[in-house]
């Protein structure tokens, strides 16, 4: 499969423990860094896709030489030209208000509703929850996001949904949960797949010219937009069904990213 664009998640996929390109759970590896270099040598467009903010994605994009980034789980597409000037395109789904979606959520009380309903099982994912977010609210804990989305709708927040962005591999004394996962409160229709589809449309890319690599349920959604999707680090328990164009790779982080590229033609 020859591709023109590769959509890559950051934390847990390209980046291992501590947000390092060279870290994997068992130590250090340069396979991920070499795989990124191979992408650039093949002149394949690298697009970063993450729940991180636009500012956080800018720095990651510079380091990894990514020509575009999809931030806040699909809500913001940022494209860079040769002079590093940025074009930002919003992907706000069901939200049509004048303020940013984050401001609208904050004023509506939707975040407070979730924290009260799931007290002890949900909390802001500090410190990142408060770093200039524009379109999504970031939480950590453990709950059923589908049930939470229904509860939001029943309470008047039908323009919002809660998305699972994967396991956080540490514990917090403030949470009484069996494992900790990251969750994003987003306008309905905002996800990584719609962000990827927006980039593909703007750049004239066909589905069979694209692939994606990630490590979570939100990354698996990209399978609905691209030709092939790889999930590294083994199967996420939240991923109940796998589409035909999705492959699970047991190796984590950069090693898994490198393994995924072996299934693609970068020539």
* 138 and 205 part of one domain: no
Evaluated on CA atoms 96, 203, 50, 88, the torsion sign reads negative
Q: Which pLDDT does position 1 carry in this prediction?
A: 63
* 82 and 206 part of one domain: yes
Any domain includes 36: yes
**Burial of 90 by CB count in 10 Å (0-12 exposed, 13-18 middle, 19+ buried)?**
middle
* 195 and 78 part of one domain: yes
Q: What is the CATH number of the domain that holds 215?
A: 3.40.50.1000
Q: Which pLDDT does position 146 carry in this prediction?
A: 96
* 84 and 200 part of one domain: yes
Last residue of a domain, one of 168, 187, 206: 187
* 248 and 198 part of one domain: yes
Q: What is the CATH number of the domain that holds 136?
A: 3.90.1070
pLDDT per position in the chain (267 positions), as tens? Answer: 689 999 999 999 999 999 999 999 999 999 999 999 999 999 999 999 999 999 999 999 999 999 999 999 999 999 998 877 899 999 999 999 999 999 999 999 999 999 999 999 999 999 999 889 999 999 999 999 999 999 999 999 999 999 999 999 889 999 999 999 999 999 999 999 999 999 999 999 999 999 999 999 999 999 999 999 999 999 888 887 889 999 999 999 999 999 999 988 775
Any domain includes 267: no
CA–CA dist 107, 101 (Å, integer): 10
* 183 and 194 part of one domain: no
* 76 and 136 part of one domain: no
Any domain includes 31: yes
**Burial of 63 by CB count in 10 Å (0-12 exposed, 13-18 middle, 19+ buried)?**
exposed
* 177 and 202 part of one domain: no
* 164 and 40 part of one domain: no
């Amino acid at each position: 499969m020859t591709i023109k664009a590769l959509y890559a998640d950051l934390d847990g996929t390209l980046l291992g423990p501590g947000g390092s390109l060279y870290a994997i759970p068992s130590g250090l590896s340069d396979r991920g860094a070499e795989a990124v270099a191979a992408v650039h040598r093949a002149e394949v467009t690298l697009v970063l896709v993450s729940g991180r903010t636009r500012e956080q994605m800018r720095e990651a994009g510079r380091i990894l030489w990514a020509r575009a980034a999809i931030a806040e789980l699909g809500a913001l597409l940022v494209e860079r030209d040769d002079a590093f000037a940025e074009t930002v395109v919003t992907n706000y789904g069901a939200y049509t208000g004048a303020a940013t979606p984050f401001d609208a959520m904050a004023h509506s009380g939707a975040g407070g509703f979730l924290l009260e309903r799931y007290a002890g099982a949900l909390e802001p994912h500090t410190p990142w929850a408060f770093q200039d977010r524009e379109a999504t609210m970031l939480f950590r804990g453990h709950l059923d996001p589908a049930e939470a989305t229904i509860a939001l709708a029943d309470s008047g927040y039908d323009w919002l949904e809660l998305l699972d962005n994967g396991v956080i591999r540490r514990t917090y004394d403030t949470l009484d949960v069996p494992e900790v996962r990251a969750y994003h409160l987003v306008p309905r229709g905002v996800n990584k797949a719609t962000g990827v589809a927006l980039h593909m449309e703007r750049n004239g890319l066909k589905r069979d010219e694209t692939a994606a690599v990630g490590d979570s349920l939100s990354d698996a959604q990209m399978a609905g937009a691209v030709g092939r999707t790889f999930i590294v680090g083994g199967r996420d328990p939240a991923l109940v069904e796998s589409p035909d164009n999705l492959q699970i790779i047991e190796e984590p982080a950069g090693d898994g990213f490198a393994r995924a590229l072996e299934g693609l033609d970068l020539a």
